[in-house]
Amino acid sequence: LRRWHIRPEAQDVIAILQPAAECLRTKDTPVAFPTETVYGLGADATRSGSVRGIYSAKGRPSDNPLIVHVADLDMLRHLLGPDNHDDDGENCIPARYLSVIEKFWPGPLTILLPIPEPSPLAPEVTAGLRTFGVRMPSSALALTLIKLAGVPLAAPSANASTKPSPTSAQHVKDDLEGRIELILDGGACDVGVESTVVDGLNEPPVVLRPGGISLEELRGCRGWENVVKAYKDQSEEGQTAPRAPGMKYKHYSPRARVVLYESKCMLGQDGLVAADADAAAAAATTTSVNGDGPSTNVGLPKRVGVIRTRRWKPAAGLRCDDLRVTENQDEEVAEPLLRLHTGRLRNREGDDVGELFDLDLGEDAKGIAQGLFSALRALDRRQVDIIFVDGIDDELDIAAAVMNRLRKAASDIRA
C-alpha cells in the first residue's frame, strides 16, 4: 500500500497527482483521496470495472449508491449530455438546484439528479435507482485529482463498510490495508462528517442525510425555504421513513458498544438518559460496577471509553461518585485534534475495576464534528468494551449531523 503525503502548498502537486489520476483513468483499483468532509475511495464513475473495484475493496453491499464527484460545472454538464440541454444550450440542472449550487459548491452538499438518457455513468454507481448523487468537493487536492483524471469520480467514504468514516489517511490504512494500492494523504479532514445529501426533485425538497451543510443554511436559499428532514433519527421514531438507502445499514460503528446520552431526552432522574433501551441496559450494567448490582451480572466493562463534549454532566453517565479515576495521565493520540486521558477505574471500595480512556472534543460543534470519527476509532484501537458519549443539542448547524452519526453508532442493528 503506497501512501503519498501531499501538502497543498507544494509546488509540484500536479506532478505528484498525475500518476494517481492516470491510475484512476486506466486501472480498476480505486484510489483513496481526501475531501473536506471525509476520505473518499475514488474510481472512474463511467467504467463498471473500476466502480466494482470500490464495492469489493469496501465490502459494501452493491445496492447502496455512490456519490459522483465533479471538478467543475462543465464536467457535470458534460455528464448530463447534449440531450439534456434546453434551447438556450444551457444544461438542464433543475432550476431549484441553482441557488444551492451557487451558495455551497464547491463544498459538502450532494444533490440528486435524474440519471441522463443515455447515461455515461456505470450502472454500478447508482445501484438501479433513477437518480444519482453528485457533488463538487472543496478540497483543492480532490478538485485537482478529479480534473487531472478528466472523468467524474464515484467515491463512497473510504472506510470498511459499517466502520466510522475515515478523517485521516491512517484511518483509511487501518481499514483498507491489503485491499487498495494507493492513499493520497492530505492530512486531517476539515469538516469531519460527510456531505449533506438533498433531494430537490422532491416537493418539498428534502434532506436525506444531514451533513456539512445545515438545514438552516439550506432554508436560506431560494426554492429551499420549505426543505424538510427525510431521515430518521433514533430520537424521532415515527417520523418520515428513511429515504437514503444507506440508512438501512449499520453505520459509523466502532467495535465497542456505544451508549449515547441525549440531554433532550429527559427520562432519567439525573436529567440524562441513554438513547434507547439497549443503551440504558448497558448503562445499568456499568453502574453495577460499583458492587451494588447483582453479582450474576456478567460482562462488566473493564475498559471504558468516554467521549466528552463540554455539555456532559459527569454524575449521569459514569456515576462518578461510584467510579473514581486515578493515575490520570495525558497521552497524545496519533490523531490530529484529540487528546486522550487514561486512568484506572476504581469503585467505592477502592478496588481497581478497569481502565478508563477519556477524550474531550470540546463544546464547539464544528470541533466536535471534526474529531468525532477519530475519537470513536481511537477508543476502538484501545479495545474498550463500551463507549459513553455525551450528546449535544442537535437543533442547529453541524450538530444535527453529529447526533445523526452518533445515534447510528449507538443503535444496535448489526449489519
**Does the protein bind ligand TXA through residue 37 (CB under 6 A)?**
yes
Pick what 202 binds: ligand TXA, Mg ion, none; C-beta below 5 to 8 Å, kind-dependent.
none
Binder to ligand TXA among 30, 53, 106, 156 (CB under 6 A)?
156
Q: Rule CB under 6 A: choose which of 30, 53, 65, 186 binds ligand TXA.
A: 65
Of 29, 48, 62, 64, which one interacts with ligand TXA (CB under 6 A)? Answer: 64
Applying CB under 6 A, among 155, 182, 337, 356 the residue interacting with ligand TXA is: 155
How far lies 30's CA from each of 22, 47, 53, 137, in Å? 11, 12, 6, 18
133 binds ligand TXA (CB under 6 A): yes
Q: Which one of ligand TXA, Mg ion, none is in contact with 64 (Cβ closer than 5 to 8 A by kind)?
A: ligand TXA
| Three cell numbers, residue 355 | 481502565
Lay out the sheet containing 339-346: strands in order across. Answer: 273-274, 257-262, 386-390, 303-308, 352-360, 339-346, 324-332
* DSSP category for residue 379: H
Residue nearest to ligand TXA (CB): 246
Taking CB under 6 A as the rule, does residue 34 contact ligand TXA? no
**Residues sharing a CB contact under 8 Å with residue 396, sequence separation 6 or more, in sequence order:** 214, 216, 365
Helix axes 365-381, 399-410, angle to 10 degrees: 30
106 binds, among Mg ion, ligand TXA, none (CB under 5 to 8 A by kind): none
Residue 372 is classified by DSSP as H
Residue 122 sits in the site that holds ligand TXA (CB under 6 A): no
Query: Does 195 engage in binding with ligand TXA (CB under 6 A)?
Result: yes
> Measuring CA to CA, how many Å separate 344 from each of 14, 80, 308, 357, 358?
49, 59, 17, 9, 11
For residue 159, the minimal CB distance to ligand TXA (Å) is 8
Q: Is 401 in the site for ligand TXA (CB under 6 A)?
A: no
Query: What span, in angstroms and rounded, lies between the C-alpha atoms of 219 and 328?
Result: 46
Q: Does 244 engage in binding with ligand TXA (CB under 6 A)? A: yes
Query: 319 and 287 in contact (C-beta within 8 Å)?
Result: yes
Instruction: With beta carbons less than 8 A apart as the criterion, state whether 80 and 96 touch.
Output: no
Question: Per CB under 6 A, does 184 bind ligand TXA?
Answer: no
At closest approach, how far in Å is the CB of 156 from Mg ion?
5
Cα 251 to Cα 254: distance, rounded to the nearest angstrom: 9
> By CB under 6 A, what part of segment 96-115 binds ligand TXA?
108, 110, 112
Query: Grid coordinates standing for 258?
Result: 456505544
Q: Applying CB under 6 A, which part among 131-139, 223-231, 252-260, 290-298 lies near ligand TXA?
A: 131-139
Rounded-to-integer distance, Cα 306 and Cα 78, Å: 48
Query: Which residue, 79 or 244, has its beta carbon nearer to Mg ion?
Result: 244
Which of Mg ion, ligand TXA, none binds 129 (CB below 5-8 Å, type-dependent)?
ligand TXA
* CA dist., res. 211 & res. 408, Å (int): 14
Which residues, 357 to 376, sit near ligand TXA by CB under 6 A?
A: none
The nearest distance, CB 92 to ligand TXA, in angstroms, is 17
Give the three-state DSSP class for 31. strand
Contact partner at residue 110 from ligand TXA, Mg ion, none, CB < 5 to 8 Å by partner kind: ligand TXA
Taking CB within 5 to 8 Å according to partner kind, which of Mg ion, ligand TXA, none is near residue 166?
A: none
Contacts of 268 (CB under 8 A, 6+ apart): 274, 316
Contact, 348 vs 291, CB < 8 A? yes
Minimum CB distance to ligand TXA smaller for 54 or for 340: 54
Binding residue for ligand TXA (CB under 6 A) from 66, 272, 279, 304? 66
Q: Which three cell numbers stand for residue 370?
A: 471534526
Give dist(CA 369, CA 405) in Å, integer: 10
**Site for Mg ion, rule CB under 5 A:** 157
Pairing of strands 273-274, 303-308: unpaired
Residue 41 vs 148, nearer CB to Mg ion? 41
- Kindly list the residues in this chain that would bind ligand TXA in the complex (CB under 6 A): 35, 37-38, 40, 64-67, 108, 110, 112, 126, 129, 131-133, 137, 155-157, 194-195, 197, 208-209, 244-246
